[in-house]
Chains A and B, each alone.
Chain A
């Protein structure tokens, strides 16, 4: 178990990177608490797998350091870092039995047979695979295979961290939640630092205590699931998390107000900085309907079960609102009200309003 610190990490797959666009990872500075459950969330190609491989030691970063409990491990090979990694596709050794698979990492490290047996039995019990220990691993179903590859990581009692690289990709939907809750349970039992890479927001938000959202090789926000939802630091986070994502509307900033399509909108607090492109960010959940407010034309209403998603046009800008009742008719004219404490201005994507002291 260890605290993991990434300091000034940068990585490029090119031998001589010139500008920032040549970097797959741009300047990462993160500290992960010992025993925490973290998720790395971002779209495909955002650099999250690169980051994971750097932590496990499969890749050496171009610049920066990785520290486990304050100790620099940047130059150490994977097997000396005491980490475990579960891959997208289950990796199992076909010719071995389930038991031999679980024992493999210990055997390679010269652990004595009695300890191996004890650990394998423990882990098998934890993963509910005790009855399969002597069967050939090649015939297992994908979810069981994925469990075994997880087990190979957990079998060592000195693991610093367990990393998951989109581990549920090949699992049937109905088994996904089962495996996910197994993961949660394991985390509570083994108390290892766990890092979970995914592009699926539900997976990330249900698994992790804290989520790291990445975009184009950059960390855009680190926070608890609630923080990411309530106060996105970047329009990308607002848009990527939530369904539908945050409305991002071009506007002009004026002190603690924004002017959007000619209408003044109260913000959560005063804006700072100037220049750049300014956008008004508000989640559909905080757009309400009233007798007064911003006039809008309803174009479409979709029933998505628990609530309705209303698409509307304000001037030439489209936006969405979520409502549970008082559903307007498509084609009707309505008035929209933006919740001031949830209305923010973003300058070049980054948040530019201050939270008003409560």
Chain B
């Protein structure tokens, strides 16, 4: 083992410490947590997890989150695909300005939009629905998906399109049967990023929901305030929110590095 690999090892250890602590706490009883410091759970308990899996407000939180995140991911990638194709293949009036304007939405602080979003979605009767959160999250996910997909599409030579037209393919058929398989990796990465940002965003998701579509993370804050300070339960709920992310990232592990560079290396 080389000497310099000590740096990534230390770094990863630093990353894992708080996560370990969260997981360790989730297996402790409230008594043990409050009675003082212990590095490992002394009386190992699954009670916190049982509470979550038996109480509908808890597990519906997860289901709600997963539903709106999925809607958002599908929606974002679907509308971003043709747009990214246009940006990567054609020049048209105002293309640069449009691209830049899309990206500025990625820069907008979510806090700025919290209140107007609440009013907008209330006025069209979408408040507290999955669609509201999924639509709101397209604000920053669609520009990102366009950006990533455009990067990947630029790497596909234009000759591919031309050959297909010469071979008599119609545009939709070419796009679905030839072009899409070529940018699979890009679609995967874009979907991953949409999933990720929709899954982690909380300010808008919380503002736009009350009961029906309340995300898991918002359920957590409610519990923290109403049912006293149940740290073990909080830790268990937190641990469970890490799992979907971990699963999704495992699927794209071979594209992570390139994906984070938005296909631009």
Q: Do chains A and B touch in the complex (CB under 8 A)?
A: no
List B residues at the A interface (Cβ < 8 Å).
none
